[in-house]
Structure 1
Amino acid sequence: MTIDNDFARLSDFEPMDAELRAIRQHLHAHPELSFEETETARFVAEKLEGWGYEVTRNVGGNGVVARMTQGAGKKSIAIRADMDALPITEQTGKPYASQVPGKMHACGHDGHTTVLLGAAEYLARTRKFNGTVNLIFQPAEEAGGFSGAQAMIEDGLFERFPFDAIFGLHNHPGAPEGSWLMRSGPLMAAADTVEIRITGKGGHASRPHLTIDPVVVACNLVVSLQSVISRNVDPTQTAVVTVGAIHAGEVANVIPESASMLLTVRSFDPKVREILEKRIRALTTSLVEGFGATVEIDYAYGNPVVVNSEKETEFARMVAEELVGEGNVALCPLIPGSEDFSHFLQHKPGSFLRLGNGMNSAILHSAKYDFADDSLTAGAAMWARLTERYLDA
């Protein structure tokens, strides 16, 4: 492949490596939870303003949008990074570990933010693009339910900062630092949450015949729910139903009045998503009523499926191969985790990419996880080159 060196290269970012590491480690040491990212947003906005961007703060909460136009090009691109941390107590032992008890960047959003800041500085300094770039620093990706992406969209993101396509990334433990994984079409799962409340008839544990035991009902339901996937979903499709929590009773000698369960339901296809809801509702109702108990079901749809546009994903693959070589770009497997970037992709074409975080990286949301600083320059260079190439086309 012939590589056009008029666009951003990895070598252009090598002098920035120490600065990017310092930024990332500063953010890592000062984590903020979803919708609480005030200091992170301030830090980001001040840097962007210093580089000459038109910066809008407080978009959808603590969201920051930086906009810059160069040349006469009519095209416009958006690149998004998330900023929030998780309620986890860090166990990395790193010198820059979280200084906030019970909070840490256990998903790498400190790295995602730093990567986009690195690209922002380069693009503002070199001005080698022809069109408009929108840099979206999003709050509350981890919020669940109503997330930061939805909040920014409701606050007029598309109308106030128009763009033609949007790109984003997430780090990927288990892939080499600086490598890229991508996939056209469905990439990450829809994630729904189900709360089931079973009401029976409590009583003395020695007289179960006088009760309707909700614990027995709940245990039977857990086993029966495993048939939802195996007997209702096409074997060529991928889906998950997991019971993550069961709560009932407090002592050994009392049959409780009620039991509650929490489920997570994952799918990669809208039709499968509908089937799962229908079967979970029907199976739960019939089984519980069969025991003589009653049930309430709250079925909450979370993030939809991340569906990458074919054209934009192929474009990103080409740029990545130019940047790091074909051997460092791979097909991404389906990922059963969810991402609120999916809300952007429901409205705009684009692609969500995965950046390698190291073969020995701890898993995401682990207390021992840390973003790989060796991937920072590769991420920043990718966003810079992709912006230049997209606006040059």
Structure 2
Amino acid sequence: MSNLLEEAKELQNLLIEHRRYIHENAEIDMDLPITTKYVMDKLTEMGYEPKEICKSGIVAIAGGKKPGKTFLLRADMDALPIVEETDEPFKSKTNYMHACGHDLHTAMLLGAAKLLKKHENEIEGKVKLMFQPAEEPIKGAQAMLKAGVLENPKVDAAMMIHVATGTPFPSGLLVVRHAGIISSASDWFTIRVKGKGGHSSSPNLTIDPLNVISHIFIALESINARELAPADNAAITVGQIHGGNTSNVIPDTAFLSGTIRTFNNETRTFIKRRLEEIATSVAKTFRAEAIVEYSCCCPSLINDANIVENFKDYTSSLVGDDRVIDADKAENGTYATMTGSEDFGYVTELIPSIMVGLTTGSTTDGYIYPHHHPKTQFDESPLYIGSATYANMAMKWLENAK
């Protein structure tokens, strides 16, 4: 066991304090004034000079006393537009909720920052801390990349941790996925249908966009059912359909929106093309018009093979072999690949990177609700493990990256 783990354990109460403050003051998207101020203040208290490089996007740098490369550690800070339904004493005071664990991620990286500052003279190079907004709407990573998060100093490799609750694993395990693609790409789409509104008593004088959009909705189901190979994993989900304001009026317009999840670019391109073809041709069949818009697109997250092996080696020495779990071998590989998306994928496209899971709530211990549920809860006890893992990985990688 490394002393770093013991040092992190001494910070556990502070980490819980960080997490609960952020949880109580949950904010969403790029607009995180309370969270941003809290993180900036805490980093400044530690002796950092944090910079807000884009709205709610914070960067701080540890090290630089010795020459070397730069390793980036990332935590996302935004919550979800969900009203919390737990009985936690630190329940959110806003109409938003940290139902995906980003409050834990931020707390763990603040803990890592404290450890790195304590060991700053030992860091062989620099560690860049990336506190990111807007992961949920998958636009925060792009904003920080455009603002230069990988430059000045140039970043050579990166890592993120994502907590996991509602799994069969006991708390405090670090789950490592394979090298290569480990999450789906995500494309958010909206289909807008323009018809011709009128009185409900004279539907023959109208072009009903609600009828059109219903046929489009059903037709989209055929892409998965009949146009993709059975082994080609993809998910097309419509999350909302809207049109009309009252019962006795046929509206002029209606729209539906949803997401496409894919694991290779060929399938991704095919589905996007077919979705547009189906929407426009079905609308034309009913004398309407359809326009397809794409937004909030995100590539797959890719784990680098060398970084994966480095992580297993360095972290096993920190926490012990029994706490580092190979996702491909656990539960028949159920958790090896995620159908969810993660905008850290934008970073992994550019530099060698890794995403690691940290278990924070087992179903056998009563943590039965999944992420993004208004009743989801997280076990705080492994927070110090996350902080130590962040700091250890950065320092060890820099030490060996000569």
TM-score, with length taken from structure 1: 0.90
Unaligned segments of structure 2, at least 5 residues: 328-334
Specify the SS of the correspondent of 2:235. strand
1:321 alignment partner, SS class: helix
Q: Kindly indicate whether residue 352 of structure 2 is the aligned counterpart of residue 349 of structure 1.
A: yes
Distance 2:130 2:209 in 1: 48
1:90 pairs, out of 79, 84, 87, with 84
Indicate which of 105, 110, 121 corresponds to 2:98. 105
**Any conservation in 1 of the 2:62–2:127 contact (CA below 8 Å)?**
yes
Aligned to 1:85, what secondary structure does the other structure show?
Answer: coil
- Residue 73 of structure 1 and its aligned partner are, at CA, apart by 4.1
Q: Which residue of 1 aligns with 2:70?
A: 76
Deviation at 1:301, TM superposition (A): 5.0
Amino acid at match of 1:152: M
- In structure 2, how many angstroms separate the alpha carbons of the residues matched to 1:197 and 1:223? 16
1:121 maps to 2:114: yes
* 1:227-238 map, 5 Å: 227-238=222-233
Listed as ranges, the gaps of 5+ residues in structure 1 are none
Distance change (3 Å), C-alpha of 1:339 and 1:17: same
* 1:142 and 2:136 correspond: yes
Instruction: Please give the secondary structure, in 2, of the residue aligned with 1:234.
Output: coil
Q: Which amino acid aligns with 2:265?
A: P
2:141 counterpart letter in structure 1: A
DSSP-derived class of the 1:344 partner: helix
1:248-289 Cα shifts (integer Å, max 9, x gaps): 234444433332111211112111110111110111122221
Give the 3-state SS of the residue equivalent to 1:92 in structure 2. Answer: coil
What letter corresponds to residue 240 of structure 1 in structure 2?
A
Per the TM alignment, residue 8 of structure 1 is displaced from its structure 2 partner at its CA by 4.7
The alpha-carbon deviation at position 303 of structure 1 amounts to 1.6
Residues 192-249 of structure 1 deviation map (CA, whole Å, 9 limit, x = unaligned): 1211122233444455444433222222221110111232333222211111111223
Q: In the alignment, does 2:36 pair up with 1:22?
A: no
Name the SS for the 1:243 alignment partner.
strand
Report the Cα distance in structure 1 between the residues aligned to 2:192 and 2:104, rounded to whole angstroms.
40
1:384 has 2:391 as partner = yes
Please name the residue that 2:150 is paired with: 158
Aligned equivalent of 2:332: none
CA distance in 2, matches of 1:319, 1:185: 20
Mapping 1:1-16, distance limit 5 Å: 5=1, 7-16=2-11
8 Å CA contact retained: 1:8, 1:385: no
What is the alpha-carbon distance in structure 1 between the residues aligned to residue 202 and residue 59 of structure 2? 64
**What is the percent sequence identity of the aligned residues?**
34
Q: Deviations over 1:119-152 (max 9, x none)?
A: 12122223443221111112222344xx221222
1:330 aligns with 2:326: yes
The structure-2 alpha-carbon separation of the partners of 1:47 and 1:209, relative to structure 1 and needing over 3 Å to count, comes to closer
- What residue is the counterpart of 1:364 in the other structure? 371
Bigger shift: 366-375 or 107-116? 366-375
Q: How many residues align?
A: 384
Determine helix, strand or coil for the equivalent of 2:160: strand
Question: Residue 215 in 1 paired to residue 210 in 2?
Answer: yes
Q: CA deviation at 1:79?
A: 0.3
Partner secondary structure for residue 151 of structure 2 = helix
C-alpha separation in 2, matches of 1:34 and 1:285: 32
1:253 to 1:41, Cα distance in 2 relative to 1, 3 A = closer
SS of the aligned residue for 1:114 comes to helix
Single out whichever of 43-52 and 274-283 deviates more from structure 2: 43-52
Q: Which has the higher mean CA deviation after the structures are superposed, 252-261 or 221-230?
A: 252-261
Deviates more, 1:319-328 or 1:380-389: 319-328
Amino acid at match of 2:72: A
SS in 2 for 1:353: strand
SS in 1 for 2:80: coil
1:130 maps to what in 2? 124
Q: Find the counterpart in structure 2 of residue 62 from structure 1.
A: 56
State the match for 1:167 in structure 2: 159
For residues 36-81 of structure 1, the C-alpha deviation after alignment (integer angstroms, 9 at most, x for no partner) is 223322322232233333x232111222222122553412211011
- Relative distance call for 1:228 and 1:98 in structure 2 (3 A) is same
**How many angstroms does 1:111 deviate by?**
0.6
Q: 2:234 aligns with which of 233, 236, 239?
A: 239
- Structure 1 residues 12 and 56, CA, compared in 2 at 3 Å: closer, same or farther? closer
Helix, strand or coil at the partner of 2:47? coil
* Distance in 2, Cα, partners of 1:262 & 1:180: 36
Q: TM-score, normalised by structure 2?
A: 0.88
Q: What SS is found at the alignment partner of 2:144?
A: helix
| Equivalent residue for 1:340, pick from 316, 339, 343 | 343
